[in-house]
Amino acid sequence: MPEINYLFVAVAAIVPSILGAIYYGPLFEKQWLSSLGKTKEEMVPSNMGLTYGLALVMAFIVAFFLKLNIELTHKEVSEAGEMVFGSFHTFKHGALHGVMTACVLVVPVLVSSSLFQKMSGKNIILNAIFWILCFAIMGGILDQWA
Protein backbone atom coordinates (compact mmCIF):
# COMPACT_ATOMS: atom_id res chain seq x y z
CA MET A 1 0.00 0.00 0.00
CA PRO A 2 1.31 3.45 -0.80
CA GLU A 3 1.73 5.92 2.03
CA ILE A 4 -1.15 8.37 2.08
CA ASN A 5 -1.26 11.74 3.80
CA TYR A 6 -4.86 11.86 5.04
CA LEU A 7 -4.65 15.57 5.79
CA PHE A 8 -4.31 16.31 2.09
CA VAL A 9 -6.96 13.74 1.22
CA ALA A 10 -9.25 15.77 3.49
CA VAL A 11 -8.11 19.01 1.80
CA ALA A 12 -8.86 17.50 -1.61
CA ALA A 13 -12.27 16.37 -0.31
CA ILE A 14 -13.21 19.98 0.39
CA VAL A 15 -12.64 20.96 -3.26
CA PRO A 16 -16.15 20.05 -4.53
CA SER A 17 -17.77 22.15 -1.77
CA ILE A 18 -15.61 25.20 -2.39
CA LEU A 19 -15.67 24.93 -6.18
CA GLY A 20 -19.42 24.17 -6.10
CA ALA A 21 -20.12 27.33 -4.12
CA ILE A 22 -18.31 29.36 -6.79
CA TYR A 23 -19.32 27.39 -9.89
CA TYR A 24 -23.01 26.96 -9.07
CA GLY A 25 -23.05 30.38 -7.38
CA PRO A 26 -21.62 33.52 -8.99
CA LEU A 27 -20.29 31.83 -12.15
CA PHE A 28 -23.19 29.74 -13.45
CA GLU A 29 -26.08 30.05 -10.98
CA LYS A 30 -28.56 31.46 -13.52
CA GLN A 31 -27.67 28.88 -16.18
CA TRP A 32 -27.77 26.02 -13.67
CA LEU A 33 -31.13 26.99 -12.19
CA SER A 34 -32.52 27.58 -15.68
CA SER A 35 -31.31 24.14 -16.79
CA LEU A 36 -33.23 22.62 -13.88
CA GLY A 37 -36.31 24.82 -14.20
CA LYS A 38 -36.00 25.67 -10.51
CA THR A 39 -35.60 28.76 -8.33
CA LYS A 40 -32.79 29.38 -5.87
CA GLU A 41 -35.21 28.86 -2.99
CA GLU A 42 -36.28 25.45 -4.33
CA MET A 43 -32.67 24.26 -4.32
CA VAL A 44 -32.06 24.89 -0.62
CA PRO A 45 -31.60 21.46 1.04
CA SER A 46 -34.27 20.52 3.58
CA ASN A 47 -31.56 19.20 5.91
CA MET A 48 -28.39 21.18 5.22
CA GLY A 49 -26.21 19.39 7.75
CA LEU A 50 -27.07 15.96 6.40
CA THR A 51 -26.78 17.05 2.77
CA TYR A 52 -23.42 18.78 3.10
CA GLY A 53 -22.10 16.18 5.56
CA LEU A 54 -22.86 13.27 3.23
CA ALA A 55 -21.46 15.21 0.27
CA LEU A 56 -18.21 15.71 2.21
CA VAL A 57 -18.02 12.02 3.15
CA MET A 58 -18.55 11.07 -0.51
CA ALA A 59 -15.87 13.55 -1.60
CA PHE A 60 -13.45 12.04 0.94
CA ILE A 61 -14.07 8.58 -0.50
CA VAL A 62 -13.49 9.94 -4.02
CA ALA A 63 -10.28 11.71 -2.95
CA PHE A 64 -8.94 8.60 -1.22
CA PHE A 65 -9.51 6.35 -4.21
CA LEU A 66 -8.27 8.98 -6.66
CA LYS A 67 -5.01 9.04 -4.68
CA LEU A 68 -4.82 5.23 -4.80
CA ASN A 69 -5.50 5.32 -8.53
CA ILE A 70 -2.69 7.80 -9.12
CA GLU A 71 -0.20 5.83 -7.03
CA LEU A 72 -1.12 2.35 -8.24
CA THR A 73 -0.94 3.45 -11.85
CA HIS A 74 2.73 4.28 -11.30
CA LYS A 75 3.96 1.31 -9.34
CA GLU A 76 7.40 0.01 -10.23
CA VAL A 77 9.53 -2.93 -9.10
CA SER A 78 12.95 -2.20 -7.63
CA GLU A 79 16.05 -4.25 -8.42
CA ALA A 80 15.45 -6.11 -5.17
CA GLY A 81 12.01 -7.13 -6.43
CA GLU A 82 10.10 -4.84 -4.07
CA MET A 83 7.15 -2.77 -5.23
CA VAL A 84 7.92 0.95 -5.32
CA PHE A 85 5.26 3.60 -5.81
CA GLY A 86 6.86 6.08 -8.21
CA SER A 87 4.39 8.76 -9.20
CA PHE A 88 5.76 11.96 -10.68
CA HIS A 89 4.25 13.92 -7.76
CA THR A 90 3.42 17.16 -9.55
CA PHE A 91 0.19 19.13 -9.60
CA LYS A 92 -0.05 18.89 -13.41
CA HIS A 93 0.47 15.13 -13.39
CA GLY A 94 -2.21 14.62 -10.73
CA ALA A 95 -4.57 16.97 -12.56
CA LEU A 96 -4.12 14.87 -15.71
CA HIS A 97 -5.04 11.73 -13.76
CA GLY A 98 -8.03 13.54 -12.30
CA VAL A 99 -9.28 14.62 -15.73
CA MET A 100 -8.77 11.14 -17.18
CA THR A 101 -10.59 9.52 -14.26
CA ALA A 102 -13.47 11.97 -14.51
CA CYS A 103 -13.76 11.50 -18.27
CA VAL A 104 -13.80 7.69 -18.20
CA LEU A 105 -15.71 7.06 -14.97
CA VAL A 106 -17.63 10.09 -13.72
CA VAL A 107 -18.89 11.67 -16.92
CA PRO A 108 -20.30 8.43 -18.42
CA VAL A 109 -22.19 7.69 -15.18
CA LEU A 110 -23.36 11.29 -14.90
CA VAL A 111 -24.57 11.42 -18.50
CA SER A 112 -26.29 8.05 -18.30
CA SER A 113 -28.18 8.83 -15.09
CA SER A 114 -29.00 12.36 -16.28
CA LEU A 115 -30.53 11.03 -19.50
CA PHE A 116 -32.85 8.73 -17.54
CA GLN A 117 -33.74 11.61 -15.22
CA LYS A 118 -34.57 13.67 -18.32
CA MET A 119 -32.07 16.43 -17.47
CA SER A 120 -31.43 19.01 -20.12
CA GLY A 121 -28.29 18.92 -22.24
CA LYS A 122 -27.29 22.24 -20.68
CA ASN A 123 -27.51 20.73 -17.19
CA ILE A 124 -25.51 17.66 -18.21
CA ILE A 125 -22.74 19.81 -19.69
CA LEU A 126 -22.63 22.12 -16.64
CA ASN A 127 -22.36 19.15 -14.28
CA ALA A 128 -19.81 17.28 -16.41
CA ILE A 129 -17.52 20.32 -16.61
CA PHE A 130 -17.88 20.87 -12.85
CA TRP A 131 -16.81 17.32 -12.03
CA ILE A 132 -13.94 17.34 -14.51
CA LEU A 133 -12.66 20.54 -12.86
CA CYS A 134 -13.11 19.03 -9.37
CA PHE A 135 -11.23 15.87 -10.26
CA ALA A 136 -8.44 17.87 -11.92
CA ILE A 137 -7.92 20.05 -8.83
CA MET A 138 -8.29 17.11 -6.45
CA GLY A 139 -5.85 15.00 -8.46
CA GLY A 140 -3.37 17.88 -8.54
CA ILE A 141 -3.53 18.32 -4.78
CA LEU A 142 -3.27 14.60 -4.15
CA ASP A 143 -0.28 14.00 -6.42
CA GLN A 144 1.61 17.12 -5.33
CA TRP A 145 1.17 16.81 -1.56
CA ALA A 146 -0.54 13.62 -0.41
Q: Which long-range contacts (CB under 8 A, 24 or more apart) does 41-48 make?
A: none
Q: What mean pLDDT comes out for the span 48-74?
A: 94
**Distance between CA atoms of residues 57 and 49, nearest Å:** 12
Using the 8-state DSSP alphabet, how is residue 47 labeled? S
Q: What is the mean pLDDT of residues 57-80?
A: 88
* pLDDT value for 123: 98
pLDDT band at 50 (very low <50, low <70, confident <90, very high): very high
Position 93 scores a pLDDT of 92
Whole-model pTM above 0.75? yes
d(CA 69, CA 78): 20
Rounded CA gap, 101 and 65, in Å? Answer: 11
pLDDT value at residue 86: 65
- For 96-110, letters b (16+ CB in 10 Å) and e give bbbbbbbeeebbeeb
Alpha carbons 64 and 114: distance in angstroms, whole number:
25
Q: Taking the CB of residue 18, how many other CB atoms lie within 10 A of it?
A: 11
The mean pLDDT value of the chain amounts to 93
Cβ neighbours of residue 92 closer than 8 Å, sequence gap 6 or more: 140
Angstrom CA distances, 134 to 22, 39, 77, 99, 102, stand at 12, 25, 32, 9, 9
